[in-house]
Amino acid sequence: MRIAVVALILGMTGSVHADPGTAPALIGHRGLLRDAPENTLGSFNACIDLGLGFELDVRRTKDGFLIILHDEKVDRTTDGKGKIAELTLSEVQKLDAGRWFDPAFAGQRIPTLEAVFALVRERKANVLIAMDLKSDDPRYEPDIVALANKHQVLPQLVFIGRSIDEPAVRKKLRAADRATNVCALAQTAKDLQAAIADTDSNWVYTRFVPTAEEAESVRKADKKLFLSGPPVNRHEPENYRKAREIKADAILTDYPLECRRLWREGKLDLDRKK
C-alpha cells in the first residue's frame, strides 16, 4: 500500500526533492490530507517517503488505547459511527479509514499511536512529528511520553494541541520527561514575550508570522519557532517566503508540497487561487 499511496501522490503533485539549506521543517497537517486519507499510516508513510514531517491527533479508546483520530467521532473519516471514547480498539480497527477519501485507499485503518511510533523507528525517519493532544485524563500525557521513549522517538516529537494554551498540560509533559519538546502559544505579537518566558516549553507556537526581530527574540531565549494557523495552513505563498526569511524552525500546513516547490523554484505563485 505504501508504494501505491506515494505513486498516487506523486502522480498528482510531481516529483519532490529535499530542500537544501536552512528551510523550516515542513509538517503536513494530519499527514498529506489533500492527497491521502488523513491520520492514516498510508499518509504518514507518504510523508516519510517525501521527506516531510507530519502532524497527528491523539485520542483514547473506551478500553484505554491511544489511537490517531482528529474528530471526537469516527463518522467523518471512516465507515463507522460513534464516539471514539465509546468504542474499543477491536471495534475501531474494523473500520475502513480510507475508502471515504478515495476507493484507492480502501483498507486503511485508524492506527494506534504505538504503530505510528514503531513505523518511525523502523523506517529510521528523520522527520518532525507534531503531536496534537485531544484527550484529558490523568495518565494521558505520561503514557504518551513513555510510549515515545519506548520507541526512542521522543526527540522527534513536538507537542501542540491542548499543550499550547494549557499550562497544566505542559507541566505534565515536562514532568514525564524534561526533554519533551513542548509548545506555548503566542496568538498575536503581543503574546510573544509571555510565550518566550514560559518555563515549561522550549518552542513558541505562533498563529501569525513574526517579524525577523521577533523571531530573533525567540532564538535568543534558546527556543524554537513553530508557525501554524491561517497564515500558513492555507496556500499563502508570501507567508511561506517570510517564514523562510525569518528562519522559522517548523511550519504546519495543509500544503507542504506546494510550499517546498515554491522554495525550490525560487518564485512565488501569487496568482494561484487560494
Where in the sequence numbering do the catalytic residues fall?
29, 70
- Answer yes or no: are the C-beta atoms of 68 and 116 closer than 8 Å: yes
Instruction: State how far the alpha carbon of 273 is from the alpha carbons of 16, 195, 212, 235, in Å.
Output: 21, 34, 28, 8
Cβ neighbour number for residue 109 with a 10 Å cutoff? 19
Q: How far are the Cα atoms of 59, 87, 108, 247 from residue 83, in angstroms, in the given order? A: 11, 7, 19, 40
Q: How many CB atoms lie within 10 A of CB 127?
A: 19
Which run of H or of E encompasses 181?
strand 181-186
Distance CA 274, CA 153 (A): 35
Q: Which residues pair with 25 in a beta bridge?
A: 250
